[in-house]
Amino acid sequence: MDFGLTEEQKMVQDMARNFAEKEIAPFVEEDEENHYYRREILSKMGDLGLLGWSIPEEYGGNGMGWLEAVTALYEIAKVHTSWRLAISGNCWGPAMTINEWGTEEQKAKYIPALISGEAVGSFAITEANSGSDVGSMKTFAADKGDHWLLNGSKMWISGGHVSDTGLVYAVTKEGGGAKGLSCFIIDYNNTPGIERIPITKKVGMWPAPTSELVFENAVVPKENLLGPQDKGFQICMWMLNNTRMGCATGSAALAAACLEGATNYANERTQFGQPIGKFQMIQQQIAEMKLEDDAAKFLVYRAAWLKENKLPSQQATSMAKLAGCNAAVHSANMAMKLYGSYGYSTEYPCGRWLRDAKQFETLEGTSNIHMGIIAGIELGYQPNR
């Protein structure tokens, strides 16, 4: 057993950290304030190979896998949580799913642009009235012989209105529930009948666009069905088991950012003639944060290791996501408290950390859903995939 990084992983870590400090950090406050999605960051990530994990090199993959991917994502998310979405939105979501379930034509047509950052990727599952209960979705794809006709709407879709290529899950067998869903590849720039509405009233993740998508007789070519018809639920769960690593890693990184900030502040801020870090109650806060943050990080690495070795990882992924989410919310909360009045000022990052942390309790499986997966597998009620 080795807790260290290989020389190559260390280089990936350094590179991602330098990238985040150089290309993302200078814009954090400005983009937060303006709710601005800085598209060129995605292109730069693509140029440097930061979007091509576990993808064959013939489609532009970077030749590296899960452990390197979470190492890089961690460094990026630590600087700005919103940018963790790039790797899920382009690579682990559409590109990896097309690579697993797609035809040769689909792979060659869609994966390279997602990996190079030329295209913005997305995936759409959630609807206004269908969240955790994926099988209850209503968006319908009617088989019209030579094309599919999509009607319905999707809600809370990351990157939806800026996306070029995305996956959309829809019902293909009425009343089939989870057994009646299919997955479609949508070319947003060439599909009439889709209205994309930005969701601007969000508590956090301001520079990361979120959207409502309305499909009104959207014509989707027959060949854009991804994987077997009516196997969409299976594809969706397979995909979520990958994209959830974005939440797991992003939340663990956010927790680490809170700890780093809190630690520096505790060493610098002086009260009663000494740094506040000397007070035991502050030390308790730091100790709790450190414990939870490291636990979350190690769970992320274990899940990544299982995936890299193609071992069942669903339970480990849910554990990493849940632990990361709990650590992020708790750490953000404590950081704000530790910073005192400054923590409540928007001049300091505590407000952003707290806003961004709260998303993780809902996104890609609520905490309750993950609790259910962990317990269900443990109790033998469901297999660990």
Partner 1 sequence: MNIVVTIKQTFDTEAKIALDGKGGIDASGVNLVINPYDEFAIEEALKLKEKFGGEVTVVSVGGDKIETSVRTALAMGCDKAVRVDDPALADADEWAVAEALAKAIAKLPYDIVLAGRIAVDDGSGQVAVRTADALGIPSVGSILKLDVDGDTATVTREIDGGTELIEVKLPAVLTAQKGLNEPRLPSMKGIMGAKKKEISVQTLADIGLSAADATPKMRAPKYSLPSPRKGGKVIPGEAADAARELARLLREEAKVI
278-306 per-residue burial string, b: 16 or more CB within 10 A, e: under 16: eeeebeebbeebbebbebbbebbbebbbb
Instruction: Give rounded-to-5 percent helix, strand, coil for the chain.
Output: 60, 15, 25
User: Within 232-261, which residues bind partner 1 (CB under 8 A)?
Assistant: none
Contact 290, 259 (CB under 8 A): yes
Q: Which residue has the tokens 């999509």?
A: 150
Nearest alpha-carbon partner for 13 in 76, 99, 88: 76
For residues 134 and 183, what is the distance between their CA atoms, to the nearest angstrom? 13
Work out whether 271 is an interface residue with partner 1 (CB under 8 A). no
By CB under 8 A, what part of segment 64-103 binds partner 1?
A: 64, 68
Minimum distance from residue 285 beta carbon to partner 1 (Å): 22
Q: Does 58 bind partner 1 (CB under 8 A)?
A: no
Catalytic position from the list 118, 216, 364, 378: 364
Residue 48 or 219: the one with the smaller Cβ distance to partner 1 is 48
Residue 59's Cα: distance from chain center in Å? 22
Instruction: In angstroms, give the least distance from the CB of 75 to partner 1.
Output: 12
DSSP state of 129: T
Smaller CB distance to partner 1: residue 12 or 253?
12
Contact with partner 1 (CB under 8 A) among 1, 2, 4, 7: 7
Nearer to partner 1, 19 or 238 (CB): 19
**Residues contacting partner 1: total by CB under 8 A:** 19
Three-state DSSP state, 7? helix
120 binds partner 1 per the rule CB under 8 A:
no
Residue from 41, 52, 121, 282 touching partner 1 (CB under 8 A): that is 52
Please confirm, yes or no, whether 364 is among the known catalytic residues: yes
- Options 27, 48, 147, 234; binder of partner 1; rule CB under 8 A: 48
End-to-end CA distance of the chain: 23
CB 136 within 8 A of CB 181: no
For residue 25, state whether it binds partner 1 (rule: CB under 8 A): no
Among 2, 3, 4, 14, binds partner 1 (CB under 8 A): 14
Segment near partner 1 (CB under 8 A); pick from 16-24, 297-305, 307-315, 317-325 = 16-24
Nearer to partner 1, 48 or 142 (CB): 48
Which of the 8 DSSP states describes residue 385? Answer: -
Q: For the CA atoms of the chain, what is the radius of gyration?
A: 21
Residue range at the interface with partner 1 (CB under 8 A); choices 42-50, 74-82, 235-243, 297-305 = 42-50
Between residues 308 and 361, which has the closer beta carbon with respect to partner 1?
Answer: 308
SS3 state of residue 209: coil
Compare residues 22 and 222 and give the one whose CB is closer to partner 1.
22
User: Is 18 one of the binding residues for partner 1 (CB under 8 A)?
Assistant: yes
Give the number of residues written for the chain: 385
- Contacting residues for 156 by C-beta, under 8 A, at least 6 apart: 126, 199, 210, 212
Q: Which of these segments, 14-22, 126-134, 197-205, 349-357, binds partner 1 (CB under 8 A)?
A: 14-22
For residue 307, give every residue at least 6 positions away whose Cβ sits within 8 Å of its Cβ, in sequence order, or none: 65, 66, 242, 245, 313, 317
| Cβ nearer to partner 1, comparing 8 with 30 | 8
Judged by CB under 8 A, does residue 15 bind partner 1? Answer: yes
CA–CA distance, 101 with 123 (Å, rounded to integer): 15
Residue from 4, 33, 39, 49 binding partner 1 (CB under 8 A): 49
- Give yes or no for a contact between 303 and 324, defined as CB atoms under 8 angstroms apart: no
- 41 within 8 A of 23, measured Cβ to Cβ: yes
Q: Is 47 in the site for partner 1 (CB under 8 A)?
A: yes
Binding interface with partner 1 (CB under 8 A): 7-8, 10-12, 14-15, 18-19, 22, 47-50, 52, 62-64, 68
Question: Which of the residues are catalytic?
Answer: 364
